[in-house]
Amino acid sequence: MARFRYRAVGNDGAVSEDVVDAPDLEAAVAQLRSTEQLPVEVTPDGEVPDVASLASRMRRRVRTPSREAHLRFTRELATMIAADVSVDRALEILAQSAGSNVLSDVAGMMRTRVREGQSLAQAAAAHPNTFSPFYCATLRAGEAGGRLAAALASLARYQERMAYLVNAVQSALIYPTLLALAALVSLAILLVYVVPQFDQLFREAAATMPWSTRAVIGVSRFTINYGWLILLVGLGIWLYLRMNWHRLGVRVSLDKKVLRLPVVGDVVRRLETERFAHALGALLRNGVLLPDALALAADSARSAVFVQTVRSSINAVKSGSTLAAALARGSAFPAVALELVRVGEEGGRLVEMLDGLAMSNATETETAIKRFVAILEPSLIVAIGVV
């Protein structure tokens, strides 16, 4: 027999707190319900609180787990399911050992929902801040086809690849970002502290200054007198863009301009193509219908141009158009990607071709990122030197 501390609500609405002896958690809950008490929290020693207390904790802190914690959660869950561990037992283990407190709470709540009869996909869908529609749809398809372990493994591979790409881009931009910040700080120091000293010397000498010197001194005076205005205008522009990002076509227009840039556009296009191929291939492999898979793959995109292109292709596919022809109506995907999709459709090997497209873009994406950084760093140095 084990001892469980509980908090329950009686028929009269009174809340009671006490302990109860029972063989396990389920027996403790059943014992409380037999006495016409509604359990709100039942916490055995060394166990995770039940869904009510976890929900209360989640309401107090709605946070998104880190990308690394999410990947570890998916990979460990896939490993346990593949080893024939039951879903509720696997979630119980993750609730006790997950590195993220948010994921520990989520796993505990999911376990309770699964034990109440819900599927793993339904339990995950109850936490939209943690699991995306793409994630839940893949789980749902895997459960329906009896391939839950394979579905989780494909999700882990997808998350791992996306995490690698994000880390690669962030790592590549660390040095250029620090260089740009150092240049801005140095320029601010020159304009606010150094140039005014020379300005005073030139005034006392009553010397005739060339136009370049007068321009630098003018910029320095404006920065000193109206620096606050520059910051205010910059903040206003940032707030306007943030508030209207999804309105007036601001995001679509900006993303179109980004895709037209010589080097940056190539990097973004390859990143989005790889992400789309990974997402759509994973969904189709697990039995999701093509229109539904396209809708979910669109949600996984980051560029508004790609989102718009994929979403507009859904109705075309439903009307009988091929996927390659539907995607070709937009200006997002490169010609090689469209050709591979067309060949895959004609040969009945669309999933295989999507996997190949993702793999080929993986190498090309890394090359494009390296090329971008190789051009960006000396360009920044030259620009700083000119300034």
pLDDT in the model for residue 232? 92
Q: How far apart are the first and last CA of the chain?
A: 77
Q: Residue 63: pLDDT band by 50, 70, 90 thresholds? A: low
One-letter amino acid for residue 45 of the chain: D
Question: Using DSSP, how many helices (H) and how many strands (E) does the chain show?
Answer: 17, 3
Lowest mean pLDDT of 40-54, 175-189, 310-324, name the range: 40-54
Q: Torsions phi, psi of 41, nearest 5?
A: -150, 130
Residues of the chain with pLDDT > 90, as a percent, come to 2
At residue 366, the pLDDT reads: 80
Q: Output Rg (C-alpha) for the chain, integer angstroms.
A: 29
Q: Are 66 and 27 in contact (CB under 8 A)?
A: no
Average pLDDT of the chain is 80
Which is more confident, 166 or 30?
166
Question: 75-79, 180-184, 300-304: lowest mean pLDDT where?
Answer: 300-304
What is the rounded distance in angstroms from the CA atom of residue 276 to the CA atom of residue 27?
48
Q: Return the sign of the alpha-carbon dihedral for residues 332, 337, 342, 348.
A: negative
Instruction: Give the pLDDT of residue 247.
Output: 62
Output the pLDDT for position 206: 74
Short-list 50, 52, 4, CA closest to 27: 4
Q: Taking a C-beta distance cutoff of 8 angstroms, is the pair 140, 133 a contact?
A: no
Q: How far apart are CA 230 and CA 224, in angstroms?
A: 10
pLDDT of residue 60: 39
Q: Which residue has the higher pLDDT, 245 or 329?
A: 329
In angstroms, the CA 290 to CA 318 distance is 9
Contact (CB, 8 A) for 113 and 126: yes
Span 81-113, pLDDT tens digits: 888 888 888 888 888 875 556 788 888 888 888
| C-alpha to C-alpha distance for 44 and 24, rounded to whole angstroms | 8
Residues 144-161 have a mean pLDDT of: 85
For residue 341, pLDDT beyond 60: yes
Q: Nearest CA to 69 among 37, 28, 102, 27?
A: 102
Please list, in sequence order, all residues whose beta carbon lies within 8 angstroms of the beta carbon of residue 277, skipping any fewer than 6 positions away: 337, 354, 355, 357, 358, 361
Are 301 and 310 in contact, with CB atoms under 8 Å apart? Answer: yes
Mean pLDDT of 216-241: 87
- Whether the CB-CB separation of 143 and 152 falls below 8 Å is answered with no
| Residue 361's pLDDT band (cuts 50, 70, 90) | confident
pLDDT confidence bin for 38, thresholds 50/70/90: low
CA-CA distance, 371 to 363, in Å (whole number)?
A: 12
Asked if residue 50 has pLDDT above 50, the reply is: no
Q: Pairing between strand 38-44 and 2-9? A: antiparallel
Q: What is the pLDDT of residue 61?
A: 44
pLDDT(56) > 50: no
